[in-house]
Amino acid sequence: MPDNPLLQPWTSPFGVPPFALIQPEHFPPAFDQAMAEHRAEIAAIAEAAATPSFANTVAALEGAGRLLDRVRSCFFNLVSSQASDALQAVERDYAPRLARHRTEVALNPALFARIGALHAGRDALALAPDERRLLERMQTGLVRAGAALEPAVRARMAEISTRLAELHTAFGQNVLQDENDWQMLLAEADLAGLPDFARDAAREAARERGLADGYVITLSRSSVEPFLTFSARRDLRERAWRGWVARGSHAGTRDNRPLISDILALRAERARMLGHGDYAQWRLADNMAREPAAVARLLHQVWEPAKRQVEAERAVLASMASQAGHNGPLAAWDWRHWAEQACRAQHDFDESLLKPYFPLEGMLRAAFDTAARLFGVSFTERHDIPLYHPDVRAFEMLGADGAHRGLFLLDSFARAGKRSGAWMSSYRVAESFAGVVTPIIVNNNNIAKATPALLSFDEARTLFHEFGHALHGLLSTARYPSQSGTAVLSDFVEFPSQVLEHWLTVPETLRSHARHHASGEPLPETLLARLLASRNFGQGFATVEFVSSALIDLELHTHPAPETLDLEAFETAFLASIGMPDAIGLRHRPAHFQHLFAGGGYAAGYYTYLWAEVLDADAFDAFEATGNAFDPALAAGLRDIYEAGDTRDPMELYRAFRGRDPEVTPLLRKRGLLAG
């Protein structure tokens, strides 16, 4: 395909993909050519006659596979944000091929021999600190991939990687299809309790689905959670809840439950071949936590006080519901609804009154202003950048000197074909070892589309969270792409995102940017005070909901015989064993737990959000102690972390910033879980 745009130079501003020219049929030949080129590059490095050196082996590997990186990043960003039947067919075909290709590279014995020789003699190589860490991490990665195993075992490792890619792809596509297929059509009479913003979003969802009349609730979190919170119709809340938690578990060709057993069994087999007792042991050996016992200690340190707190919350909600005529115990589709009523009663705080002051534009300005004040960067919208969907916007990031530092793409709204949740990704990472390359970073959110788009406080916090990930990529000064931005240990990757969330609740941030979408009036001081006073409200529920999912992740990945797993029975027994409070469901049931099973990125690693929260709460404590949330010295130290990527050990980076190891007390205080 000689005119394939994926194989031509990209001449658009900043080298953004020419999205308008790219069609699904362009990807297969582009992948084929890119993998062939990469194989040739790897062969040249691995089979070189010259004695291994950092330049001809490690640096050469960093420069190899550029076409493949470009095609792969473009494809997987599009299939996540703008999936079509044609793109998903390519994904089913090429995900296992790409996994096979990665495994071939990682298990190349000649390449491993060269890296091993350099690693063994690293003390004599006079490497710069980032070069030494790159070599050490490369050696560790190859060993963990199985490069040191016998040939027959390496062959089995390759088979496992290929099969896992097929299973991950099927799992994610099944969940997306369930989300696309389900809708709850409502008439005007069904909207009791819903505030205007929720009605407007449901009306827009109906229009997007081609319905001239009525309102639609979808399984996007930005649609279903407000409905569960505000709807006065308990029967409809139950219907929405059951649709939400059933994703991935419908009998038939899209049932994810048998896929989970296969995925877990293959992961466990791979871990055993690498000398570990289970997958969690293998995974955590290369994380800050180091072992499952350390993760379990942290989770249970939070779990027990969270259960005590949630029981106190339940008593309040049950009493309120009973007084309003609710008979019987609270169910999972009741909790959010009565929690909202209790928050109004206890703090005179109504989420629906807050949303008009949280328009998307205002919260985006707040995020940009925070980055400017902490890190000296600015963002300017560009209208000359090719984009893959009309909802997407492009912003150029400039340094304090006015020079271009990176491009930030923002894809804000939920739509069919876009996977649920929120995430950051990249079309290109920053690097400088063979010439300066600036990053192209994308944030995906799933806000309900409306005019204007009004955010809940949680959605505003998510915007800050994902923007923190984006800044981690945009600010990177790492020389080598393997160390750039978010390419850090997986239980450190959430720290830069979570710490930025704190600046949303800085009063001067809210006073400056939380303004009424119509009048421009600032958030009233009384409402601001109620918002800040209510921050710990419902933290028992939020903590239990999260930690239970982290615990089931750990339990699944330490299961002694996952191939025999009866998932429904396992889930029931697990919830009983941890004393899961009634009326609170898992935040992510296994059959739609995409963090774990639509890929391996968070497998045996969902705990990382809480691990990082220990760091982020402790870090923001330092700012609060100065009385200045934008303290210049601390901001400079924080910027060092964002810039460093994986050039230094994460705990070393944190100690340099904080002057000591992190402490857990600020997290417990932040969540309102300290005794007394």
The three-point CA angle 126-127-133 to 5° equals 145
Rounded to whole angstroms, the Cα distance separating 7 from 26 reads 9
- Which DSSP string do the residues of 192-219 spell out, in sequence order? TT--HHHHHHHHHHHHHTT-SSSEEE-S
What's the one-letter identity of residue 503? W
Residue 87: name the closest of 34, 31, 35 by CA. 31
- In the set 466, 501, 545, 613, the catalytic residue is 466
A 10 A CB-CB count for 297 gives 11
188's tokens: 């005007």
Cβ atoms 131, 61 nearer than 8 A: no
Q: Which residues sit opposite 454 in a β-bridge?
A: 359
Active-site residue, 466 included:
yes
CA-CA distances (angstroms) from residue 619 to 330, 475, 488? Answer: 38, 19, 18
Q: Cα 463–374–528 angle (5° rounding)?
A: 55
Q: Tokens 């029981």: give the residue.
A: 311
C-alpha 199, offset from chain centre:
28
State how far the Cα of 571 lies from the Cα of 568, in Å rounded to an integer: 5
DSSP letter string over 434-500?
A: TB-B--EEEEEEEEPP-SS-B--HHHHHHHHHHHHHHHHHHT---SSGGGSTT-S-TTTTTHHHHHH
For 142, the token pair is 């190859």
Paired with 437 in beta bridges are 431
Type of residue at 592? H
Identify any residues that bridge with 381 across adjacent strands, giving them in sequence order: 395
Burial pattern 18-27, b for ≥16 Cβ within 10 A else e, equals: bbeebebebb
Q: What is the DSSP letter of 522?
A: B
DSSP state of 669: H
How far apart CA 218 and CA 468 sit, in angstroms, is: 28
List Cβ neighbours of 30 (8 Å cut-off, separation of 6 or more). 4, 6, 7, 67, 71
At residue 42's C-alpha, the angle toward residues 101 and 110, to 5°, is 100
Three-state secondary structure call for residue 176: helix
- The three-state secondary structure class of 34 is helix
Q: Which long-range contacts (CB under 8 A, 24 or more apart) does 668-673 make?
A: 668/302, 668/305, 669/617, 670/536, 670/613, 670/617, 671/302, 671/306, 671/536, 671/539, 671/542, 671/543, 672/309, 672/536, 672/539, 672/540, 673/302, 673/305, 673/306, 673/309, 673/539, 673/540, 673/543
Quote the CA–CA distance of 609 and 345 in Å, as a whole number: 31
Catalytic center residues: 466
